[in-house]
């Protein structure tokens, strides 16, 4: 975080003035009206955990430790005049991707202001748009670290500095987000995609100036029977492309590009025991995608799903998702002389952006079951792409040893044919995992 951002955040964070509140708000905020001498205006929470990921050395049968780390997190929420502030910091120590790590991260740090119909959130924060499960084409603001090894899907999200504002005229909620600085997703490019004996050039990301900032808008309508939204994003794609300059250095590097995304989503439970949800987005880049290899083609991605839950605690989500790549052109089987590197670059970019085919069809399946009085949660996430034959499965079992201590075991399994993303990363990221987590 930049010094100026830090200063703004901490100035706002520690200005604490109490408001008159009802019982519900006081309880939710941790206040104790019976103890006037020590009226609590903050909440302190966190966790410590130990995580182990084990698998096999790529292309061998030798077992290896993929990751083993301990992590401590401290979360603090402070209530103050017209809002609150939230702060979460994590410290991780251990081994990841064969390297010793010892890192401190500021997971989130933001200020909320509630000003009548206006709500504002400023700071390092995470945005999760989209009503579909897991596959969210409208979600283009928060980058993802696809190399994060954690049983919790949310841990893949990387916060970035945003100014997020809402105007509420129930049942309509208008949202505007200003993204002053670009932050990229972490891509799994070092596993047979971009690895080279030569040092990789620095990524080509936009400078921090106003013209490189991004904006996003959403109009959300929440009716009792259903809800839907329309959204627009204009900014640099959080998932950059790959480029290279063969004259200077043939090694590929990440390069960001700007795009528009128009999207929408909906959900309803108007079908008795079935919930229905869907999401759609049209993405189109600013730059000429036929000229620049790192820029993806325009695409239309759509998700439609149903979900249900039984009284026994069993729930299931089933989704279809499809993608249509506009102006898709087949690559020649044998590249023309002199364009081998360019063709390889285009193939890599298509693989990372899931644009290897003009039309792709996938299903997502997530059954979950809460057993033993909700102390045991059994869940399995499965994603299969019928077109590319890529498969990801994540069975997971969590048991609450007591109210504060939980153990989770599971498996991440990627597979796919050669030339697909999952087929490339499978040996590197497929692993079994165990997490022991104590929350406070």
Partner 1 sequence: MIKNNLIVTTLLIFFVTSSVFAQGETLNARDIADKSYKTSKLAGAETVSTLTIIDDKGRERVRQIAQVTKLYDNGNTEKKLIRFLSPADVKGTGLLTYDYEVGDDDMWLYLPALRKTRRIVSSEKAKSFMGSEFSYADMTPPNLDDFTYKLLAEKEINGVKCFQIEIIPKNDDIADENGYSKKVSFIAKDDFVIRRALYYNLDEELEREMTVKEIRLLDPQNRKYRPIHMEMDNKQNGRKSIINIDKIEFSPNVKDEYFTTRYLERE
Contact between 222 and partner 1 (CB under 8 A)?
yes
Residue 166 or 205 with smaller CB distance to partner 1:
166
The answer to the question of residue 248 lying near partner 1 (CB under 8 A) is no
404 binds partner 1 (CB under 8 A): yes
Q: Which is nearer to partner 1, 126 or 318 (CB)?
A: 126
Question: Total residues contacting partner 1 (rule CB under 8 A)?
Answer: 56
* CB of 425 vs partner 1, minimal distance in Å: 25
Q: Out of 128, 215, 331, 359, which residue is the one contacting partner 1 (CB under 8 A)?
A: 128
Nearer to partner 1, 79 or 255 (CB): 79
Residue 280 in tokens:
């759609």
Of 385, 439, 375, nearest to 417 by C-alpha is 385
According to CB under 8 A, which one of 40, 310, 327, 339 is a site residue for partner 1? 310
In this complex, which beta carbon is closest to partner 1, that of residue 314 or of residue 328?
A: 314
Residue span binding partner 1 (CB under 8 A) among the ranges 6-14, 50-58, 201-209, 401-409: 401-409
Strands 83-96 and 359-371: unpaired
Residues paired with 383 in a beta bridge = 364, 392
Q: 50, 275, 322, 395: which one contacts partner 1 (CB under 8 A)?
A: 275
Nearer to partner 1, 150 or 385 (CB): 150
- Indicate whether 407 belongs to the interface with partner 1 (CB under 8 A): no
Smaller CB separation from partner 1, 125 or 388: 125
Residue 3 within binding range of partner 1, rule CB under 8 A = no
11 touching partner 1, by CB under 8 A: no
- CB of 239 within 8 A of CB of 255? no
Build a one-symbol-per-residue string for 147-186: x at contacts with partner 1 by CB under 8 A, - elsewhere: -----x-x--x--------x-x-x--x-------------
Residues 328-367 that bind partner 1 (CB under 8 A): none
- Residues binding partner 1 (CB under 8 A): 22-24, 27-28, 30, 45, 47, 77, 86, 112, 114, 119, 126-128, 130-131, 152, 154, 157, 166, 168, 170, 173, 222, 224-227, 267-269, 272-275, 277, 307-313, 370, 373-375, 400, 402-404, 406, 439-440
């Amino acid at each position: 975080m930049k010094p100026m951002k830090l200063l703004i955040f901490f100035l706002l964070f520690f200005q604490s003035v109490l408001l008159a509140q009802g019982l519900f708000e006081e309880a939710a905020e941790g206040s104790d009206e019976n103890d006037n001498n020590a009226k609590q205006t903050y909440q302190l929470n966190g966790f410590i955990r130990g995580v182990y990921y084990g698998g096999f050395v790529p292309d061998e049968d030798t077992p290896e430790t993929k990751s083993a780390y301990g992590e401590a997190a401290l979360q603090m929420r402070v209530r103050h005049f017209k809002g609150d502030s939230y702060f979460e910091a994590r410290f991780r120590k251990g081994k990841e991707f064969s390297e010793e790590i010892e890192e401190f991260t500021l997971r989130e740090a933001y200020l909320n202001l509630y000003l009548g119909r206006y709500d504002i959130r400023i700071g390092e924060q995470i945005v999760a748009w989209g009503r579909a499960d897991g596959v969210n084409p409208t979600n283009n603001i928060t980058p993802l670290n696809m190399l994060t090894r954690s049983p919790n899907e949310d841990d893949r999200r990387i916060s970035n500095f945003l100014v997020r504002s809402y105007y509420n005229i129930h049942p309509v909620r208008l949202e505007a987000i200003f993204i002053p600085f670009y932050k990229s997703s972490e891509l799994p490019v070092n596993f047979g995609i971009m690895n080279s004996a030569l040092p990789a050039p620095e990524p080509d990301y936009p400078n921090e100036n106003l013209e490189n900032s991004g904006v996003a808008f959403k109009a959300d309508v929440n009716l009792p029977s259903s809800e839907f939204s329309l959204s627009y994003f204009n900014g640099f794609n959080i998932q950059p492309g790959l480029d290279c300059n063969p004259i200077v250095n043939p090694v590929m590097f990440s390069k960001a590009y700007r795009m528009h995304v128009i999207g929408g989503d909906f959900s309803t439970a108007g079908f008795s025991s079935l919930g229905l949800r869907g999401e759609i987005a049209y993405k189109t880049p600013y730059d000429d995608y036929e000229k620049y290899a790192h820029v993806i083609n325009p695409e239309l991605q759509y998700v439609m799903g149903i979900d249900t839950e039984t009284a026994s605690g069993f729930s299931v989500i089933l989704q279809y998702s499809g993608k249509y790549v506009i102006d898709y052109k087949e690559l020649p089987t044998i590249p023309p002389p002199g364009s081998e590197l360019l063709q390889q670059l285009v193939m890599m970019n298509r693989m990372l952006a899931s644009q290897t085919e003009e039309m792709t069809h996938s299903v997502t399946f997530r059954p979950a079951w809460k057993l033993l009085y909700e102390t045991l949660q059994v869940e399995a996430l499965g994603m299969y792409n019928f077109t590319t034959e890529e498969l990801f499965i994540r069975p997971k079992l969590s048991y609450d040893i007591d109210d504060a201590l939980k153990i989770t075991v599971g498996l991440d399994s990627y597979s796919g044919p050669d030339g697909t993303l999952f087929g490339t990363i499978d040996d590197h990221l497929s692993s079994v995992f165990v997490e022991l987590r104590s929350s406070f």
